[in-house]
Structure 1
Amino acid sequence: MVVVQPFHNIPSIPTYKQLMDIAFGRASRTSVKLPAVKDKLIIAKIKEIKRIEVSSSIIIDRLKNIVGSMPNIDSLHPFYRDLFCIMIDRDRYNLALKNLSWALNFIGRLRRKYIVEVRRASNPSEASQSRRAFYGRVSSIIKSVGGDLEFLSNVHKLKRLPALDFNFPIIIVCGAPNVGKSSFVKCVSTAEPEIAEYPFTTKNIIVGHLIGPHGVIAQIIDTPGLLDRPLEERNKIELQAIAALRNLHGGIVFLFDPTETCGYTLEYQFNVFKGVMDLFKDRPLVIGLTKIDLATKEQIDKAISLIGSYKIYLCNTLQCIGVKDIVEELLNQLKI
């Protein structure tokens, strides 16, 4: 399955200095076809007009590409829209696009004006002066939108977000750090999991795919650095990033480590669990106890007693034991 997310076409955004260097540098190296008549004024006009055309075309095309590749926020899926609005100031974004559109249109008008001036030049020096005046005006315009280019370069970072297909259920794997979430995703994925990034966590997020006889039936993601701590330990922006996950429709797998070798007590893990349940109380849920190859009967019994009346599955994510039973139960709840 080839899935792309809405930011994949966003190009690399140059600084205003880089854009001017590219445009003016390429214009200065552009060769022109000279007429048979060796008239210095005609030759000068041809060269200067070509420089104006090349430099302006590069800048206009680059700005058009940037503006045209930026997403329409209102058309984004709520998951991506929420993440976008957490990471990018919406009003500043719209203003930046407006300023770039103004700049490219104004440069187009200046191009026509200064080409006329070059054609009216009475000597080569005057033709060169008109072209330099054009360069000066364009430099001022590009410098004035330098802050907008810098701001939009932040949008380019959204290309690293996971690519999800919202036509299929998305299973979120939760639990405290080191309980085996990533191993679980790798075990149940019937295709090679994809590595992506998620805002406000330094760890990669893994997206796996469950494939049945007729193609993909669900996606599954782990949540490193996200749903692995009690919600009361989160700041406002982290809570917003976590809340964006509520836009993913599917089920929840929550993993407990009864051995506590993950570095967290069962009580701590249960607090994480309660936070997840508050967020996803309306979602199908399956609970797994991991590391059953290490856990004693007493540890397993203690975990089951703490968790309460939920149906609990035992698994070993390193050896992929019991993980498919968990997924099959969740798929049954999702009626897949």
Structure 2
Amino acid sequence: MEKRCVSEEVGSIRIPDFNEVREYVLKVYQDRISVPKGLKRKYVVIYLSKIDRVNSYLVNRVLNNLEKLSKISISKFYQEILKLAGINGYEQTLNILYRRMKVINRLWSVYRVGIKSSLDAKEARRVFREYIGRVLSIFRRSSDELDLIRSAVALLSKIPCIDDLPTIVVAGMPQTGKSTFVGNVSTAKPKVSPFPFTTKDIILGHIELDSVKVQIIDTPGILDRPLNELNPIERKAYLAIKYLADYILYFIDPLEDSYYNIENQLKLLQSIINEFGEEKIFVVINKIDSVKPERLEYVKKLVSERTNTYIYTISALKNLNTHNLIRDVVSRIRRNTV
């Protein structure tokens, strides 16, 4: 069976909230149960049926799903994405809820014995009502934890499937042509717009060349500022670089009227080199179809003063030199995986 990615595994799981549990439990309490005529102590059969229905629902819809979630390995990247969304303590919360659901499961065993030993229907009903009260009390106290897990599941299920493949992360400041490039060379179809910060999430595609399959990630633009000043959109790009990138394609817009001037773009490049090292970075000057030759040479000179890496010049829009860039990256991947 093919292994599914985190977003697929998590996306198949649904945890009910307190109101859903309450509604179901109260419905079971009110439902009429048909039993054969002449059956002795029919009240025992009725309330055993009700308590078993409640427990089966809680086991299948809550306990088993919490157990499934606890077995899904959440990498550091996913953990940081959750924290970025204000969802802290995911694994601890799962453990807390799981322990509480095990308590509820033990209550079922205890109260089932109580129903069996009831002397009349009134006592059986009282025992069942007490069981319901304790179950709903635990769920009411767990509302915040349930909401946190439900929010985490909703967020993780929306993240693209990140495979165990060599990974190229395309980074740079906004409006440098990252999304156009990723859309042209891979299976990804990112939104392209003339406005900065059009890409708000990481977008993943795949490339297969010479029997080598890699995944490529388009990231939101990053501005040149300290990590603690990055906004949530920029931090997604930073996390992708930090935790997912085997190689980084750093895109530069060389135009004189670019959204962000060349000095700011080079300062960000230097920050990325300082943090992640020069050996995994490919510097890519884009938009050569629109830049004057002398301006292009000037920008190349500025880049070469800051890094010894080879400088690629491409046009993502016109698909100029993009194939050579991808071929070189794949060749590097092949050499390093042999």
Question: Please, what TM-score do these two structures have when normalized by structure 2?
Answer: 0.81
Structure 2 counterpart of 1:63, one-letter code: V
Query: 1:77/1:135 Cα in 2 relative to 1: closer, same or farther (>3 Å)?
Result: closer
Is the Cα–Cα contact under 8 Å of residues 170 and 248 in structure 2 kept in the other structure?
yes
Instruction: Quote the offset at 1:183 in angstroms.
Output: 0.9
Match of 1:305 in 2: 301
CA distance in 2, matches of 1:286, 1:323: 13
Instruction: Quote the offset at 1:211 in angstroms.
Output: 0.8
Listed one character per residue, the Cα deviations across residues 65-84 of structure 1 (whole Å, up to 9, x for unaligned) are 232122468x5444445545
Q: Aligned with 1:334: secondary structure?
A: helix
Structure 1: state its 5+ residue gaps: 196-200
CA distance in 2, matches of 1:135, 1:244: 46
Query: 1:62/1:69 Cα in 2 relative to 1: closer, same or farther (>3 Å)?
Result: same
Instruction: Quote the offset at 1:179 in angstroms.
Output: 1.2
Instruction: Quote the offset at 1:49 in angstroms.
Output: 1.8
1:268 matches 2:274: no
Instruction: Quote the offset at 1:182 in angstroms.
Output: 0.8
**1:99-248 equivalence runs, <5 A:** 99-156=96-153, 157-166=155-164, 168-189=165-186, 191-192=187-188, 203-214=200-211, 216-225=212-221, 228-232=222-226, 234-235=228-229, 242-243=238-239, 245-248=241-244
Structure 2: state its 5+ residue gaps: 192-197
Query: 1:188/1:268 Cα in 2 relative to 1: closer, same or farther (>3 Å)?
Result: same
Is the Cα–Cα contact under 8 Å of residues 292 and 314 in structure 1 kept in the other structure?
yes
Listed one character per residue, the Cα deviations across residues 263-320 of structure 1 (whole Å, up to 9, x for unaligned) are 1111121122112212221433322222222212232122122212553332221222
Q: Determine what percentage of the aligned residue pairs are the same residue.
A: 24
Structure 1 counterpart of 2:17, one-letter code: T
1:19 matches 2:15: no
Is the Cα–Cα contact under 8 Å of residues 99 and 145 in structure 1 kept in the other structure?
no
Query: 1:106/1:243 Cα in 2 relative to 1: closer, same or farther (>3 Å)?
Result: closer
Listed one character per residue, the Cα deviations across residues 174-232 of structure 1 (whole Å, up to 9, x for unaligned) are 1211111011111111x34589xxxxx97122212111343x5211112114xx21142
CA distance in 2, matches of 1:244, 1:259: 27
Structure 2 counterpart of 1:118, one-letter code: I
Is the Cα–Cα contact under 8 Å of residues 178 and 251 in structure 2 kept in the other structure?
yes
Structure 2 counterpart of 1:64, one-letter code: L
CA distance in 2, matches of 1:118, 1:284: 67
> How many residues are treated as equivalent by the alignment?
319
CA distance in 2, matches of 1:175, 1:252: 10
